[in-house]
Structure 1
Amino acid sequence: MDNNLVGGIIPPQPPVTAESDVHVVKSRLEWGEPAFTILDVRDRSIYNEGHILGAMSMPIEELVERAVPTLEKSRDIYVYGTNDQESASSAQILRSAGFYHVSQLKGGLAAWKAIGGPTEGIIESRTPPGADDYNVVDRLKTHVETQQKDV
């Protein structure tokens, strides 16, 4: 007997690649998939202003000493920084520390916001909700439009 309660409901994800598109992570988040972590390696004060919903703050200079004791080496990790170079460097640092499912989130926070990904933080909370935030039909239209965006 199969003990996997979500078998057949949540499609299995392929192994993470060295770089990931924000659409991939957003769809995993929307499906409520377990066992993945989003790391924000920017400075803590910048993280506090705004970040991807649920992302953990691990500034690049503290990355290894914070990640090693808190994250499983086999966990799917998506990492983003101030720019793609910082994201790529962070992903490489994590791989060198023994993490083997690490992916750079291409475009970082800007790409995430461009497709309507959920955010949180001091500045993000001051942004008024869009007209479609409380209308399911408009939200579905927006979702379809953002899934078709190239970022």
Structure 2
Amino acid sequence: MTKKSNFSLVLETPAASPEEARRHFLAKLSVETDVADVALDLRRGNDSFILVDVRSQEAYADCHIPGAINLPARQINSDTTAALPSDKLIVTYCWGPACNSSTKAAARFASLGFPVKELIGGIEYWRREGGAVEGRLCEKAPLHWNMND
């Protein structure tokens, strides 16, 4: 039998006030989006954002989200983004939750004056949730970057 305890790990840190929580969650939603929202917008033909795969050119050629352009994170600068409309939302993605290249890329886009959000989960979660892909390898492409390559 489990002994009842009055101590709670959930309540160890007090919850934020409803207003603080609202501000936090709205701030979070202002800088990220998820694969379901992107998939639905793409399916509906919504062209209010530019999807940017910030992985290497090789990874993009192997497998990417249809409609995404490729601009590796380390190559984002005023010259490489000059042709992009500065008033259109940029949505960055990379490999997945263990990859922060899309976060770095989003910071670079923001520094250049672009409105930007990060696709949480990257191409890994896009594929896990059944999102369409295109490229040389499509579904046969690796789900994540291999640090031993």
Matched residues, number: 110
Q: 1:1-151 maps to which residues of 2 (within 5 A)?
A: 17-64=30-77, 65-67=79-81, 69-83=82-96, 84-100=99-115, 102-124=116-138
Check the 8 A contact 2:73/2:102 in 1, yes or no: no
Query: Higher helix proportion, which one?
Result: 1
Structure 2: which amino acid aligns with 1:55? A
Q: Distance in 2 between matches of 1:35 and 1:70?
A: 16
Moved over 2 A (4+): none
Q: Distance in 1 between matches of 2:54 and 2:140?
A: 23
1:35 Cα deviation from its structure 2 partner: 2.5
How far apart are the structure 2 equivalents of 1:27 and 1:17? Answer: 18
**1:125: Cα distance to partner?**
7.0
Report the CA distance between 1:17 and its aligned residue: 2.2
Gaps of 5+ in 1: 1-15, 128-151
In the alignment, the residues of structure 2 paired with residue 59 and residue 123 of structure 1 have an alpha-carbon distance, to the nearest angstrom, of 19
Q: Kindly report the root-mean-square deviation, in angstroms, between the aligned alpha carbons of the 2 structures.
A: 1.8
1:60 to 1:22, Cα distance in 2 relative to 1, 3 A: same
Query: Take 1:66 and 1:117, find their aligned partners in 2: how far apart are those partners?
Result: 28
Structure 2 alignment gaps of length 5 or more: 1-28, 142-149
Deviations 1:7-65 (A, max 9, x none): xxxxxxxxx72011111100100111123110011110111000111110101121223
Distance (whole Å) between structure 2 residues aligned to residue 110 and residue 17 of structure 1: 22
Quick one: which amino acid aligns to residue 98 of structure 1?
G
Q: Distance in 2 between matches of 1:52 and 1:72?
A: 20
